[in-house]
Structure 1
């Protein structure tokens, strides 16, 4: 991945079609918005090959929140575009995401964890004044316990958020993808246990922050 400098590398193409002149102008503008977004330090992010069958046009990127040599959280964001519109989206664009992280025991035990994690996504979008619709998703908490030759490892809990939403289109028919990417990275940082940098919605709740990698 690119160096964690708060800006994403264009060292790889997310989709071959993005280089074709036949690509719709709104999609080109949306992809350009992703490429030009400036992000907070500590995020490593790169374009990757997107799924080929979800929409006529797609662009994808993957990211990780990095502290030293440790990845605190990782995820993928996919931009989909169907010029003809999509009944389920109620629009021509859709953002689809998967983010995941391993949690500290005190965070994993919180009974409100799923609701809080979902509020991080909606709160990050609303804190930036972004208009969106048809948001849906799941928050999954999975615990692992180790036995036999792995018995010395402490139990671990991973949280996974799968979500999608329709970004409202702006001038020129393209949504403000730079702002949506910034909001998504804020979600990634919060699930990693970092303090938010954008003003939070009053309804957004914070969980205990993650301890450093060398904390006993």
Structure 2
């Protein structure tokens, strides 16, 4: 759990930091309407992995990329301090297709969780009350869809309480997580999937 420092940040400043975050270049992003009634004030971003000329598709790639897509929501509610541990709460979602060989790996959900924790720590993002659910899905197609063959997908839903002064770091964490799930190169301070799987296999031996 990261240590907490810095004075509280008002919502407008926090939202501006989120909008100004330096997301990875492989992503196309846009601001989207935040879910209603979840908090008095909130802001949401969507992003999708784009390749080559697909970056020109803009909004479509940000919300529905076949290579990986996700959302992040920053909520603000001064009355939720006891529940959240702070006035803010982040909820994020990231999903991407997997190679079938990786999808059947029993450690892949552990890897996804580890990537989230590593991304938070490597960005020095301050947080408390971190929780997540990682889900892998294996699918087989039949009949008219038989040509699709077998497929796999990974998704991670997470939430945590961010603490100032740098809220942009939390959006960058989500950006990093989405790219890692999509199989893009890992950043410094975060293991590749091969290294993480080898380590966990050794620990389980």
Q: Which runs of 5+ in 2 are unaligned?
A: 1-8, 55-64, 196-205
CA distance in 1, matches of 2:194, 2:78: 40
TM-score by length of 2: 0.81
Q: What pairs with 1:65-80 in structure 2 (closer than 5 Å)? A: 65-68=49-52, 69=54, 71-80=66-75
* Aligned match of 1:206: 193
- Give the structure, 1 or 2, with the largest relative contact order (CA under 8 Å, sep 6 or more): 2
Residues 198 and 184 of structure 1, relative CA distance in 2, 3 Å threshold: farther
TM-score by length of 1: 0.77
CA distance in 2, matches of 1:74, 1:106: 21
- Of 95, 113, 135, 1:100 maps to 95
Give the number of equivalent residue pairs: 177
CA distance in 2, matches of 1:40, 1:55: 28
- Of 25, 28, 36, 1:41 maps to 25
Q: Does 1:188 align with 2:178?
A: yes
* Aligned match of 1:31: 15
Say whether the 8 Å CA contact 2:74–2:90 is kept in structure 1. Answer: yes
Q: What pairs with 1:1-216 in structure 2 (closer than 5 Å)? A: 26-68=10-52, 69=54, 71-170=66-165, 176-200=166-190, 204=191, 206-207=193-194
Say whether the 8 Å CA contact 1:119–1:205 is kept in structure 2. Answer: no
Q: Which runs of 5+ in 1 are unaligned?
A: 1-24, 171-175, 209-216
User: 1:46-99, CA deviations, whole angstroms, 9 ceiling, x for partnerless residues?
Assistant: 000001111111100100011234742100000000123332211000110111
* Aligned match of 2:59: none
Say whether the 8 Å CA contact 2:20–2:168 is kept in structure 1. Answer: yes
Q: Give the superposition deviation at 1:205.
A: 5.3
* The structure with more helix, counted as a fraction of residues: 2
CA distance in 2, matches of 1:98, 1:87: 24
CA distance in 2, matches of 1:207, 1:177: 31
RMSD: 1.9
